[in-house]
Every structure is written in structure tokens, then in C-alpha cells.
Amino acid sequence: MKKFKLYSCLGLMFISVLVPLRALAYDESFYSSNDILFYNPDDTGPIDSENSEAPNNLEEEINLNGFATSGPVIVNTTSLDGSDALGKIIYFYTHKGLSLAQAAGIAGNFWRESNFVVDALNPLPTSKAYGIAQWLGDRKKRLFEFTGTNSPTLAQQLEFSWHELYGTNGKNGLEIDAYEKLLATKTPAEAALSFYIEYERAADTPEVIQLRIDYARAIYKRMGGIE
């Protein structure tokens, strides 16, 4: 009887060793029978979310360093600092009195509209929207009239956008409501959504609207903002 108990104990110890070893090697029947739905042989354990950094794919997609231009851009007598289109856009609006979050909200929309390409033209015959904001119809016509050219520079387009938003020579801009609602925003997400609804007025899907918000947040972060 003592030998039987000894053999039984040894047998149980042997089985207890084998089970973990079996679990170490992937066995579909073992995992499915134990409600383990996902097996990752490279898993190193739980992620420390506080100390880990997720890759910022949005910044890679935006390629924020890819808009180099030669020399400063002049708006009337004001030089726009920054060596790329994004820097000029942010500089322009913040020096008009907008917050960094509000400027990033505008820039996120412009990126979605044109990738900051100054002469971007929608090829659809029913559209032909033009410029960084993709102005259309009468607004496109007013852009050309305001700047005095059918090929306005980035600086001229920014000035026209401010003319629409704030106004010129003491007169309110045609988009003054968009400006006032933008001023009420506090975060880049709020600013991006407000600018989309009130100024761009595009017929985007919810997914594309979210892209505008994500771009604005990525730009805000890239320019030193902290949410």
C-alpha cells in the first residue's frame, strides 16, 4: 500500500510537470478547451500603459516636415516665420490672436482638404474647388478677386481666410459666425469640429470628420501643445 501511494504521488508530480510544458507549446485543442482565444508566442506580458509610448502614425502620415519652401513668406508687411507650410499656417493664425489649439484645428482641416498644397484643384467637373481650404463657387471667385490673381500664394490664401473669418477695414467677414464659434473652443478637437461645421461645411462621413480631428490633435502635439 505504501508503495502504491508513493507511485501515485510520483505520478501526480510527473503529470503536474507535463501540463505546464504542454501549455508552453501551442496546442489548438488545449487552448480552445481552456477558453484561451488568442495565442501570441512573442508576448512578454502586460503592457505598462503609463510608461509606454504608442507610435504616432498620424504624424508619419501627415509628414509634417515635407513642406519646405524657399525664404520667408510675406503677407503685406508681415513675415510668416517657419520653414514649412504648417509652420506658416500656425504662425499666421496664432499671431492673429487665435490659440494654438484653434490654429491646429484650422490646420487639421486644411490638411484634410488639400495636404497644404497651395494650388490643389478638385478635378471633378461639378466641383473645381481650389486652394488649401478648397474654396468653391462664389467663395472661390472672391478668393481670386481679393488676392488679384487666379494663382494666390499660401500667404494670400491665409489672408483671404482671415478676411472671411474676421473681416477687413472694420467690416465683419462673411464667415464671422464661424470665427466667433471657433473662439469658444478650447481643444484642438473642438476647434477642428467647429471649423469643419461652420467654415468648411463639407459633406464628410463621420469617419472622415474624425480624421480632421485626429489631424488637428497630431498637429497640436507636434507644435508643442499638451492636451
CA atoms within 13 A on the CB side of 185: 28
- How is residue 95 written as a grid cell? 499671431
pLDDT at site 1: 52
Residue 68: φ, ψ to 5°: -65, 140
Q: Are 131 and 120 in contact (CB under 8 A)?
A: yes
pLDDT at site 11: 53
Residues of the chain with pLDDT under 50: 2, 4-6, 9-10, 12-56, 59-60, 62-81
Global pTM reads: 0.67
Task: Enumerate the H helices of the chain as residue ranges.
Answer: 2-24, 28-33, 57-62, 85-94, 100-114, 137-147, 154-165, 176-183, 188-195, 206-222
Domains of the chain: 58-222 (1.10.530.10)
The CA-CA-CA angle for residues 118, 121, 127, to 5°, reads 140
Q: Which of 210, 211, 222 is nearest to 82 (CA)?
A: 222
Amino acid, single-letter form, for residue 94: T
Q: Are 218 and 59 in contact (CB under 8 A)?
A: yes
